[in-house]
Amino acid sequence: MGPFTKSGYTGGDYFYVHGTPVMATMYGLDVLATARWGKAPDLVLSGPNEGQNLGKIVNSSGTVSNAQFAAGRGLPSIALSAGSDTTDNATLANPYSAVVAQHTVNLVKALQAKAGTGPLLTPGVALNVNFPDAPTSALKFGFSRFGTFDTYVLKFKATVPYGLGFTFSTAATAAQAEDESVLYKTKIAVTAMQVGFEQRPAAQQWLRLRLRDLFSQ
């Protein structure tokens, strides 16, 4: 862990952690923020990831896990994901990245305008934001939800190359039009996430009744 250095990028305000994405977030919150401001940051932005994080795939996403971890500490947090066409490891100057950055600034400004002097997001809520491929400055934001439709159909590959394999699903129904896996293709999909794994009261009561004999022992 420490300052990030690379030829041609001297003087930049960059740091790194040789570990998991959440470890990098912890380093930023517990070490860098404390050293710089003496307190936690007002907002945590995770990403933009090079590849969209949509539907159930978020359960394995480091980008989303960062936002969830920070939100679990009570911090306004937003996970951002764009297409793999934003990749530019050589010069870090992909023109699509600049478009994504400007839209992200606009999103934060809109949240700030409504929040006033309060937090940008309601406690217990984080956002999952996904940009379409080849984003333009004219893109609009759209309300979305995780829903029941998934862009990626995941399957473990037991042949070379081993590991994650996936196909794309395209058979969405009209009822799934607000699912982020559908909406992101034409708009910037913004989805509200709950923090943690707490179930709704009805499911809590179901568990109490289903295992009441066991719980009463």
Q: What are the b/e assignments for 127-149, b being 16+ CB within 10 Å?
A: bbbbbbeebeeebeebebbbbeb
pLDDT computed for residue 11 by the predictor = 66
125: which strand partners?
194
Query: What's the rounded Cα separation, in Å, for the pair 189 and 108?
Result: 14
pLDDT computed for residue 104 by the predictor = 98
How many residues are given for the chain?
217
pLDDT computed for residue 196 by the predictor = 85
92 neighbors 48 (Cβ within 8 angstroms): no
- Give the tokens for residue 55: 């539907």
pLDDT computed for residue 96 by the predictor = 96
Residue numbers of the chain with a pLDDT score lower than 50: none
- Give the tokens for residue 27: 């380093």
Query: What's the rounded Cα separation, in Å, for the pair 63 and 80?
Result: 7
**161: cis peptide before it, omega within 30°?**
yes
Among candidate residues 62, 63, 59, 30, the one with its CA nearest the CA of residue 45: 63
Sign of the alpha-carbon torsion through 169, 174, 179, 183: positive
Spans of all domains in the chain? 42-215
pLDDT computed for residue 216 by the predictor = 86
pLDDT computed for residue 14 by the predictor = 85
Tell me the pLDDT tens digit for each residue of 136-154: 999 999 999 999 999 888 8
pLDDT computed for residue 53 by the predictor = 96
Strand extents, DSSP E, 104-207: 125-130, 141-144, 152-157, 163-168, 188-194
Instruction: Kindly indicate whether the domain formed by 42-215 is annotated with CATH number 3.30.9.10.
Output: no
Query: What's the rounded Cα separation, in Å, for the pair 198 and 200?
Result: 7
